[in-house]
Amino acid sequence: MTRLLVLLTALLITGCASQPTAMVATDNVVIVGDDPGGLIGAYIAKVTTAKQSGAHVQIVGNCASACTLWTSMPPDRICVGPNAAFTFHEPTPMAGENQDAVRDAARGVLLAYYPESVRKWVVRQGGLTSKLVTLSGAELDAIFRRCDS
């Protein structure tokens, strides 16, 4: 029961207190701009809804923290623009007990959602730690296709 509580709490962890600043859904296309992230559970719900609806996702700015869960979209339904980037870091638990356990569980949740290519990139950077690491440029292009102009 304690393990389940820790995992459920992990889903509510916030990577950043603010809400997305740019996410627009039109014609079954989700456009993600400069998005600082937020609650992991909320992003899992957004991504799951997009997957189930057949939506396509365009990353056009920096997508940080929990926003990086968009990387789990099917490869043929996600693309990146010239200013796209994904910024990763360890989950930040909300105030409360079991901070280390919750952080570890949430880290596992994030890594499980990332596709293998992203997970390997994150591991090569040292994993999800307090250090911010950004996937952009040629490294990003090696993993995700560019959006059509």
Strand, helix or coil at 95? coil
Amino acid in the structure at residue 126 = G
pTM of the model: 0.82
Walk along the chain (149 residues) in steps of 10 and give the mean pLDDT of each run.
Answer: 34 39 68 94 95 96 97 98 97 80 92 97 96 97 91
Distance of CA 91 to the CA centre of its chain: 11
99-106 contacts at long range (C-beta below 8 A, 24 or more positions apart): 101/6, 102/6, 102/9, 102/10, 102/13, 103/10, 103/13, 105/6, 105/7, 105/9, 105/10, 106/10, 106/11, 106/13, 106/40
- Closest to 65 in 3D by CA, of 23, 17, 5: 17
Q: What is the pLDDT of residue 99?
A: 84
Cα separation, 135 vs 97, whole angstroms:
32
